Chains A and B, each alone.
Chain A
Amino acid sequence: MTLIIENLVKKFPKEDTELTAIENFNLVVKNEEFVCILGPSGCGKTTILRIIAGLEQKTSGSIRLDEREITGPGQDRGMVFQEFALFPWRTVQKNVEFGLEIKKVPSEERKRIANEFITLVGLKGFENSYPYQLSGGMKQRVGIARALANDPEVLLMDEPFGALDAQTRNLMQKELLRIRQQTKKTIVFITHSVDEACFLADRVVVMTARPGAVKEIFVIDAPQPRDRASIEFANLRKRILAELEREVIAGPSSPSNSPEKA
């Protein structure tokens, strides 16, 4: 599996002009790679992920999964949402089975697959609970299990731990690394936390402020598990943070002074 993003451009209509959200974004995500996309708020990082997921249309450029051009949503890409997006009227089990139902997988097989992933994310015993009975961390475990149950080629995660408290967040990061090791999934992960990116990623893509493009890519070859208290970790954080801060201070360029491309 290779995910290739070439010259991706996204423009939104805004009043009588156009707002360029993403401009010439290029990235190649390799098989089994964990890539974090990091950027100041409003830089279009979530938009990129939504275009990869097929939830939004690109203005121009190309996104290919292996050789197939992505034009809409598909089960080859699983997505995990910041808001969890669990179906409140479905139990944990039924939430995880959702995609399998759509694929018309027979009931017995569905149950078997769902149980496998519920166990993987550590929710065994909660199959029949409803989302409102779960804590935030548990809800996101369901979100991950649900996305993985479809056996996607790439897992897209949109600030998945952003709504969790600090302790739960750290725990979930460790859990995600464990799940990744067991499933060998390719992951594209959006975050605005430098710490999170440094802890998780093989590569960290730092984006420019609007219009969003790749500013710098950091390769992190420190082995997992990483020690947050180590000097190396602190140095890495410092470097990325410096890069990111420059963009935050620069701020988004307004539509009028962004380069026009008629």
Chain B
Amino acid sequence: MKDNPLRIFGLFNRERFLANMNQTIFGIAAIVTFIAAWWGFSIYLNLAYVPSPDRVVWAFFTSFEKTEISLGTNMWGNILASLQRFGIGFVFALALALPVGLIMGFIKTADSFFKPLVELFRPIPPVAWVPIFLLIFGIFWGPVMVIFLGVFFPLLSNVIFGVKSVDQPLIDAARTMGANRITLFKKVIFPYTIPFIMTGITIGLGIGWMCIVAAEMIGAVGGGVGFYIFYSESIGRYEFMYAGMAVIAILGIGTVGVSHYVENKLNRRMGVK
């Protein structure tokens, strides 16, 4: 085959390069089109709540520099407050979904007991709990509990699914090598479930971010990005509202992206899926 000599060394793969390039070009084209349309509309409509992209970009950077007097903090403080709530809710969800999911997957009676409860509460959107959670748990733990619910259910489902999808031959093999139920769980079922847990975490993170904004909009103390969005809208500073939305998008992309990266690495490493 006559080909680029560099290809032999794996330095240049023409097909892959072109495929990647196509993807990049279309990606950039989509964003450029979106910004151009947005800009056009903002000029044409001339409405306060459709600020031009450059105003939003300006607001985005300003929000990090300038302390909002009534909130007593700048965007960094809001991010910190949101991340804190998010982190606590997330860790609690992980700490509960993991053991409950593993037990439900592994022990039939536990599954029969917990399943009706899970099926009863799962369909209720986490946000629907906001009012009552604020009342019961207060302005700090209320939003945290909403995040908790948002992360808990998708994570739980994935853990249970992981345990139930363990290959029977792996269990048989372990048993023929003398594994009892406890070693079976420790050495086969739990490691097998790890990639499924990671998938649950990725999904849970995405849903968690959706919940935090809603939770903070209703009530939050000590700032928060969701609260910031709501506040900016209420005082008519729409460009700052959009800046807050952009921050949420970046936080979401960031955490889900990291989680997705870890998930892919793990899947390859574990050879599962």
Residues of A within 8 A of B (CB): 50, 53-55, 73-75, 77-79, 81, 83-89, 98-99, 101-103, 130-132, 146-147, 150, 156
Contact = CB atoms under 8 A, between A and B. Distances in A.
B73 to A, nearest CB: 45
Interface stretch (B167-175, B197-205, B240-248): B167-175
A130 B173 CA distance: 17
B177 A99 contact: yes
B202 to A, nearest CB: 19
B269 interface: yes
Given A73-B175, A150-B177, 8 more contacts: A86-B173, A88-B270, A88-B272, A89-B270, A101-B187, A102-B178, A102-B187, A150-B178
Contacts of A131: 271
Most chain B CB within 10 A, of A50, A75, A102, is at A102
Contact of B178 (A88, A103, A130): A103
A102 to B, nearest CB: 5
Contacts of A54: 175-176
| Of listed B173, B178, B188, B270, residue having the most chain A CB within 10 A | B173
A88 B169 contact: no
Given A88-B272, A98-B187, A83 B177 contact: no
Given A55-B172, A81-B173, A87-B188, A102 B167 contact: no
A31 B169 CA distance: 28
Contacts of A146: 173, 177
Contacts of A156: 176
Contacts of B178: 73-75, 99, 102-103, 150
Given A79-B173, A85-B170, A89-B191, A102 B269 contact: no
A50 B172 CA distance: 9
Contact of B177 (A84, A86, A98): A98
Interface in B175-195: 175-179, 183, 187-188, 191-192, 194
A28 to B, nearest CB: 22
Interface string B225-236: 000000000000
- Interchain residue pairs A-B with the least CB separation, the first 4: A88-B271, A99-B177, A85-B169, A132-B271
Question: Which of B176, B177, B194, B270 has most A Cβ within 10 Å?
Answer: B176
13 contacts: A50-B172, A53-B176, A55-B175, A78-B176, A81-B172, A85-B172, A85-B173, A87-B187, A89-B191, A89-B270, A101-B187, A102-B178, A150-B177
Nearest to B270: A89
Nearest to A132: B271
A102 B177 CA distance: 8
Interface in B119-134: none
Nearest to A88: B271
Contact of B272 (A77, A84, A89, A150): A89
Contacts of A102: 177-179, 183, 187
Contacts of A101: 187
A15 B188 CA distance: 32
B272 A85 contact: no
A55 B194 CA distance: 26
A73, A75, A103 — which one has the most chain B CB atoms within 10 A of its CB?
A73
A195 B270 CA distance: 37
A87 to B, nearest CB: 6
Contacts of A150: 177-178
Contacts of A85: 167, 169-170, 172-173
A87 B170 contact: yes
Given A85-B167, A89-B271, A79 B176 contact: yes
A156 B183 CA distance: 22
Given A102-B178, A150-B177, A83 B272 contact: no
Contact of A55 (B176, B188, B191, B272): B176
B58 to A, nearest CB: 50
A146 B188 CA distance: 15
Nearest to A150: B177
Contacts of B194: 89
